Amino acid sequence: MPLVRVTNFAISLDGYGAGEPQSLEAPFGHAGMKLHEWRFATWRPGAPNGVDALFGRQYDVGFGAEIMGANKFGPPGWQDDPDWRGWWGEDPPFHTPTYVLTHRPREPLEMEGGTTFHFLSTSPADALAIAQEAAGDLDVRIGGGATTVRTFVAAGLVDHLHLAMVPLVLGRGTLLWEGLEGLEEQFHIESVVAPSGVVHLSLTRRSPDA
Amino acid sequence: MPLVRVTNFAISLDGYGAGEPQSLEAPFGHAGMKLHEWRFATWRPGAPNGVDALFGRQYDVGFGAEIMGANKFGPPGWQDDPDWRGWWGEDPPFHTPTYVLTHRPREPLEMEGGTTFHFLSTSPADALAIAQEAAGDLDVRIGGGATTVRTFVAAGLVDHLHLAMVPLVLGRGTLLWEGLEGLEEQFHIESVVAPSGVVHLSLTRRSPDA
Ligand SMILES: NC(=O)c1ccc[n+]([C@@H]2O[C@H](COP(=O)([O-])OP(=O)(O)OC[C@H]3O[C@@H](n4cnc5c(N)ncnc54)[C@H](OP(=O)(O)O)[C@@H]3O)[C@@H](O)[C@H]2O)c1
Ligand SMILES: NC(=O)c1ccc[n+]([C@@H]2O[C@H](COP(=O)([O-])OP(=O)(O)OC[C@H]3O[C@@H](n4cnc5c(N)ncnc54)[C@H](OP(=O)(O)O)[C@@H]3O)[C@@H](O)[C@H]2O)c1
């Protein structure tokens, strides 16, 4: 059965998935690229084929659709700009139908490389049903940001999360853990530290009879 | 030179050092003993002599004094009880002069086994100077809770922290990370995962010329 998964979601030691304030110039706020450098490092020539690379490479394997939040799709106010087409240029790295949750939906945007952005104002469960229909036999990725991830997890809709905990303290931004008290009762939690210092957490939903 | 250290300070994935509400019946609030079970497990006969045991055993090595916060010493309201002598019975596990920071200090309490509780209402720096004087050539432990640890870290008074991050989400309680934005600039951060699932973080103050 296809799964609903979060992969390569980066957080700080104190649980922030992005800094603040988010803007066109600073999509991750004061966090800059710090939460993502470990992954960029795996793309450099000669980079070790180790823990970071293995997790990083999972990013786009097996997905037939993505769901993301409005604040991942663009900076505050993008809804007022009819020409905003996302951060990622004409060939975004999703290559699947991609559902943007926003209270101000617009017409779909067909990009190159298989990505089509659809804009939805609906409940997490309904958005997921739509994305699963599009994904067919493949998994659905909950792509972030933190608000969207925690909403879907709290609603019991996520089967697996891979979180990359980066050894820094952001102090402010959007929090992942809020509202997830007792998550360990629903998920088996396994961790491994990469030589980069990143702690990779794999959270796997416990089966009801385990 | 003697150091100022935090050892075996347990936090949840979301950074809480204790749950809530704290009371005589529930010293750690809704967290119960969950943050500490990994350490108790190392005391059982036949327990592995591995990562958890090695870190756990550091708890009392090399210290000549401890500083703790009022909320570690007793449940809310202990200051109104002239007979309160701490949670630990007549032979507390400190075996050194132990300084309790409280806005309502009282006379010192001499316990068995080398522990004497002194009660101080003073700044972190002054409390540390007093504890260091008592500790002589030995280190001073900042013993918690989270409020006291983060206050001393924020004041630049701590050389080394060992944090045990337990794989659970508490959701509420006293937060360790608050006010520590950018901690990675001051501390080298190394992590290792024990087979129990606990992530042991070692934070070592960077030397000024490194
Ligand atoms: N750490 C990582 O690995 C990672 C991954 C992805 C993104 N990010 C970063 O995370 C940040 C964004 O995260 P975030 O937590 O601020 O926000 P987000 O999850 O991207 O978006 C939240 C917003 O989406 C809209 N939304 C969510 N659910 C909805 C629903 N059911 N119906 C209609 N609208 C809904 C609402 O916006 P409106 O009310 O305005 O429509 C809501 O405020 C960005 O900086 C992004 O770059 C980080
Ligand atoms: N996770 C662990 O490994 C660990 C370790 C130790 C303790 N704990 C737990 O942590 C909890 C307590 O933590 P907490 O963060 O709530 O509180 P805490 O750090 O133990 O105590 C804070 C209190 O100490 C007093 N205080 C602090 N600095 C002071 C100063 N400079 N001068 C005068 N008074 C000062 C103030 O109390 P007043 O104003 O009331 O005097 C303040 O509210 C307890 O549940 C304890 O069992 C956990």
Burial of residue A208 (CB within 10 Å: 0-12, 13-18, 19+) is exposed
Residues in chain A with CB shorter than 8 Å from the CB of B169 are 177, 180-184
- The pLDDT score that the predictor gives to residue B75 is 97
Question: Do residues B158 and B125 make contact, with C-beta atoms less than 8 angstroms apart?
Answer: no
Which atom of ligand 2 lies nearest, measured to the CA of B151?
28
The span from the CA of B66 to the CA of B51, in Å, is 24
Q: Among all ligands shown, which has an atom nearest to the Cα of A151? A: 1
Chain centroid to Cα B142, Å, comes to 5
| Enclosing H/E stretch for A8 | strand A4-12
Interface contact A197-B181, CB threshold 8 A: no
Confidence of residue B209 (pLDDT cuts 50, 70, 90): low
Instruction: Name the nearest CA neighbour of A143 among A179, A171, A115.
Output: A115
Q: Scanning the structure block, which residue is given the tokens 């937060």?
A: B175
End-to-end C-alpha distance for chain A, whole angstroms? 18
The domain segmentation of chain B, as residue ranges, is 4-182
B30 Cα to chain A: minimum distance (Å): 11
Torsion A2-A3-A4-A10 (CA) sign: negative
Instruction: Name the nearest CA neighbour of B148 among B96, B205, B71, B94.
Output: B71
- The pLDDT score that the predictor gives to residue B208 is 77
Which atom of ligand 2 lies nearest, measured to the CA of B164?
3
pLDDT mean across residues, chain B: 97
Tokens in use for B85?
Answer: 């002598």
Question: Do residues B193 and A191 make contact, with C-beta atoms less than 8 angstroms apart?
Answer: yes
Compute the average pLDDT of residues B166-195. Answer: 98
The span from the CA of A121 to the CA of A155, in Å, is 17
The span from the CA of A71 to the CA of B121, in Å, is 46
The span from the CA of A58 to the CA of A189, in Å, is 18
pTM, two decimals, is 0.96
- For A109, residues 6+ apart whose C-beta sits below 8 A from its C-beta are A85, A86, A116, A117
Compute the average pLDDT of residues B100-106. Answer: 98
Confidence of residue B210 (pLDDT cuts 50, 70, 90): low
| Enclosing H/E stretch for A161 | strand A160-166
User: A123: which strand partners?
Assistant: none
Burial B190-200 (b: 16+ CB within 10 A, else e): ebbbbebbbbb
- Residue from B66, B72, B149 whose mutation best tests the ligand 2 pocket (most atoms within 8 A of CB): B72
- The pLDDT score that the predictor gives to residue A210 is 56
Tokens in use for A196?
Answer: 């980069």
Low-confidence ranges of chain A (pLDDT < 70): 209-210
Instruction: Name the nearest CA neighbour of B84 among B111, B122, B48, B56.
Output: B111
- The pLDDT score that the predictor gives to residue B207 is 87
Which atom of ligand 2 lies nearest, measured to the CA of B123?
31
Candidates B9, B191, B192, partner chain A, best to mutate (most A CBs within 10 A): B191
The CATH number of domain B4-182, selected from 3.40.50.720, 3.40.1440.60, 3.40.30.10, 3.40.430.10: 3.40.430.10
**Hey, what's the torsion of the CAs at A122, A29, B154, B175, to 10 degrees?**
10
pLDDT digits (tens, 9 = 90+) for B147-177: 999 999 999 999 999 999 999 999 999 999 9
Candidates A178, A188, A191, partner chain B, best to mutate (most B CBs within 10 A): A191
Q: How many CA atoms lie within 13 A of B144 on its CB side?
A: 22
pLDDT digits (tens, 9 = 90+) for B30-88: 999 999 999 999 999 999 999 999 999 999 999 999 999 999 999 999 999 999 999 99
